[in-house]
Structure 1
């Protein structure tokens, strides 16, 4: 079986097709998916998905791009994470792509999420874009290795991957790795240790080839696995087994 380690099933273009999405997952042997929180205001919808379906789990957190929203403190995040279907903290991190001024509020929020993850013993789901140096610096300063986690939708260099791996983090690849022009990322994917590899869709975004340009969904994570198998010259079954085992090793509160 395959697991989509990062998707947004509560987003409007997916939640309206909930039954269809789950059927496609089953048809493609995608047995489970992790539904990621991006705003506290929307967290109840994410949690409700995980409560309705035994093969879905949830995280709680605030995406670094979201500025005009409720800002949870450490205690609130720990409280919301105290739920059997909530298995991680995030999506959190830094994103300077749209925020060119590299705002301090993003760094403060990231620190809060790291501290919450350490306090509740659940791993981090880390987003970084145009901010790799600061992301790694804050992870080190806040002892993120004590919580562990995953660098989601990885698009950075091999050096960044190695720094994250040194802190015990996993590296997750999305449909971007299937894109023809993602040559440098493909090289990075070849060198990640198999025992630290995860796959994801980031649905509804970043649909993999052969669905590029369409609304992405968890059932298509198999194409990411196929690309990794080809790049690494490994049987698809090995990628399937390893990424599934890795998911349950990292998200140890995900019970089936």
Structure 2
């Protein structure tokens, strides 16, 4: 069974057929889905999905691109939401210098605060990092994030950065980009990284794998990612599913007993 570690089924892209897709997942060998919040507005939507479906869990956290909407009052509210019984991580949190908004200092402030929150609640981290490799790594090191555990979601850096994160015991989230012709850098990372530190994700509705690139993504396309990882690592399809499933359970369910 496949473990989908990062989805956004609350997204409006699924408004017309969300229930149909989610109900179909177990029939298509999808065992669990973690639906990841990214903004203040998506937190309750993610929790509602987790309450509705046994096999869906949630994360609570604010994406760096939405961190300007955090203040002390909202942060208290966020921490309360993160105590929900089906919340398995704090995320997606981190730094995004690609869009470079809001101001980097605001992003850093709330990244640090949310890592502190994760420590207080004994939850691992789901990290968003784009064009911010050094600052992300240094802040995680300073926060002793290796004691909490983390997935570097939609990993977009090269082998050198991958080595740093892997050495801290973190997992790399591998999605549709690994199937792209121009995904050479990620293919190299997958070849380098131990399978025991990789997890599967779609980031749906974004980043659909080939041959669906440019269309709406869903967990139903995860087998295409599995096939490409198996090809790169010269192993079989079932081994990739089994080990990535074990990795995701170890990561997300360690505090859930």
TM-score in terms of structure 1 length? 0.94
Q: Which runs of 4+ in 1 moved over 4 A?
A: 72-76, 253-256
Number of residue pairs matched by the alignment: 256
Q: Is the 8 A contact 1:10 1:46 kept in 2?
A: yes
In structure 1, list runs of 5 or more residues that go unmatched. Answer: none
- Tell me whether 1:51 sits opposite 2:51 in the alignment: yes
Post-superposition offset of 1:25: 2.2
Q: 1:100 to 1:64 in 2, by over 3 A?
A: closer
Q: 1:140 to 1:68 in 2, by over 3 A?
A: closer
Q: Is the 8 A contact 2:68 2:102 kept in 1?
A: no
For 2:109 and 2:149, the matched residues in 1 are separated by: 19
Q: 1:203 to 1:222 in 2, by over 3 A?
A: same
Q: Is the 8 A contact 2:153 2:174 kept in 1?
A: yes
For 2:227 and 2:219, the matched residues in 1 are separated by: 14
For 1:160 and 1:15, the matched residues in 2 are separated by: 37
For residues 224-250 of structure 1, the C-alpha deviation after alignment (integer angstroms, 9 at most, x for no partner) is 111100110110100000010001100
Post-superposition offset of 1:71: 3.8
Q: Secondary structure at the match of 1:66?
A: helix
Residue 179 of structure 1: aligned partner: 180
Q: Secondary structure at the match of 2:65?
A: coil
Q: 1:216 to 1:226 in 2, by over 3 A?
A: same
Post-superposition offset of 1:213: 1.1
For 2:250 and 2:15, the matched residues in 1 are separated by: 28
Q: 1:35 to 1:116 in 2, by over 3 A?
A: same
Residue 244 of structure 1: aligned partner: 245
For residues 175-197 of structure 1, the C-alpha deviation after alignment (integer angstroms, 9 at most, x for no partner) is 00100111121011111111111
TM-score in terms of structure 2 length? 0.94
- Tell me whether 1:221 sits opposite 2:222 in the alignment: yes
Q: 1:15 to 1:121 in 2, by over 3 A?
A: farther
Residue 12 of structure 1: aligned partner: 12
For 2:52 and 2:61, the matched residues in 1 are separated by: 20
For 2:127 and 2:89, the matched residues in 1 are separated by: 11
Q: Is the 8 A contact 2:204 2:218 kept in 1?
A: yes
Residue 86 of structure 1: aligned partner: 87
Q: 1:228 to 1:254 in 2, by over 3 A?
A: farther
For 2:48 and 2:171, the matched residues in 1 are separated by: 27
Residue 26 of structure 1: aligned partner: 26
For 2:49 and 2:101, the matched residues in 1 are separated by: 34
Q: Secondary structure at the match of 1:65?
A: helix
RMSD, matched Cα = 1.9
Q: Is the 8 A contact 1:75 1:116 kept in 2?
A: no
Q: Is the 8 A contact 1:150 1:169 kept in 2?
A: yes
For residues 159-209 of structure 1, the C-alpha deviation after alignment (integer angstroms, 9 at most, x for no partner) is 111111122211111100100111121011111111111010000000011
For 1:175 and 1:102, the matched residues in 2 are separated by: 29
For 2:28 and 2:211, the matched residues in 1 are separated by: 14
Question: Which structure 2 residues correspond to residues 1-256 of structure 1 after superposition, within 5 A?
Answer: 1-71=1-71, 75-99=76-100, 103-252=104-253
